Structure 1
C-alpha cells in the first residue's frame, strides 16, 4: 500500500496549525504519559498503523514498559494503569467512538473530573480531538509507518 498524497507538503499552512496544537499539548499540565496513552488508544481504535507505531515508539523512548504499551489495547483488564489514566482512557474511547454512542457518558466524564482539573480536562478533550484528526488524515492518505 502506498501513500496517496502528502498533506504536509501540499497544505503546509494547515499542517503547521496541527503542529502548533501539538506543541501546546506537550507543554501543557496534562501528564506526558497520559497524553501518550490517549494517542495510542485512539489510534488503535481508528486503525491508524502510522500513529500506533509512532506513539508506541515515543512511549518506549520515554521509558514506558512494554507491559504498559501492549496493555493499552486491553486497558480495562490490565493492572498497570493508575485510576487517573484509566479515566482518561475511558473518555478517549467514548469520545473516539461517538458514532457508536453519540455521547461521552456522565459516569465516564465524572470519573475523569475526579482525577483532573478543569484545565487538564479541557486539554484532554483537545488531545483526543487532535489524535482523531491525525488518524483520519493518515488513514485516509494511507500513510505508512517508518521502520
Structure 2
C-alpha cells in the first residue's frame, strides 16, 4: 500500500487548523480516557487503521486496559464501561453514522443524563474532529507505522 498523498505537506495551514481544533478538544475538560474511547470507536466504525493505530496506543499508554480497548466494538454487551462512557459511545455511533441515524432522541436523552450542555457540545466536537481525521487518513490512504511485517501462511 502507498499513501495517495501527504496532506500534511500539501496543505500545512489546513492541517494546522485541524490540529488547533484537536488541541482544544484534548484540553476541553472531558476525561482523557473518554476522549480515547470515543476516538477508537469512531475510527472502528469508519475503518481507519491509521487512527486506530494511534488511539489504541495512546489509550494504553494513558493506562487503558487491553480488555477495554479490545472490547470497545462490543461495548453494549460488556459490563466494562461506565454509564457516562456508554452514553458517549452511543452518541459517537449516532454522530458518526448521522446520515443513517439522524441523531436518535433516545441517544440524545441518554447523553443528556451524563453530560451537561457544554460537555455535550464538547463531546460532539470531539466526535466531529475524529471523524474529520478519519476522512483525511482514509481519503489519502495514510499508512500507520508497521513494527513487524504481517505473517505469511
| Pairing 1:68-79 to 2, within 5 Å after superposition | 68-79=68-79
| Pairing 1:93-112 to 2, within 5 Å after superposition | 93-101=93-101, 103-112=102-111
Distance in 1 (alpha carbons) for counterparts of 2:23 and 2:138: 22
1:126 equivalent to 2:125? Answer yes
Normalised by the length of structure 2, the TM-score is: 0.93
Question: How far apart are residue 99 of structure 1 and its match?
Answer: 2.5
Q: Identify the residue that residue 136 of structure 1 maps to in structure 2.
A: 135
Distance in 1 (alpha carbons) for counterparts of 2:78 and 2:14: 38
Distance in 2 (alpha carbons) for counterparts of 1:34 and 1:52: 15
Q: Identify the residue that residue 13 of structure 1 maps to in structure 2.
A: 13
Pairs aligned (count): 146
Tell me the secondary structure at the aligned position of residue 21 of structure 1: helix
Distance in 2 (alpha carbons) for counterparts of 1:134 and 1:27: 17
Runs (4 or more) in structure 1 with deviation over 2 Å come to: none
Q: Identify the residue that residue 81 of structure 1 maps to in structure 2.
A: 81
Q: Identify the residue that residue 37 of structure 1 maps to in structure 2.
A: 37
Deviation track 1:98-118 (CA, whole Å, cap 9, x = no partner) reads 2223x1111111111111111
Extract unaligned runs of 5+ from structure 1. none
Tell me the secondary structure at the aligned position of residue 88 of structure 1: helix
Extract unaligned runs of 5+ from structure 2. 147-153
Distance in 2 (alpha carbons) for counterparts of 1:99 and 1:117: 25
Q: Identify the residue that residue 144 of structure 2 maps to in structure 1.
A: 145
Deviation track 1:55-107 (CA, whole Å, cap 9, x = no partner) reads 00000000100011011111111111000000000000011112223x11111
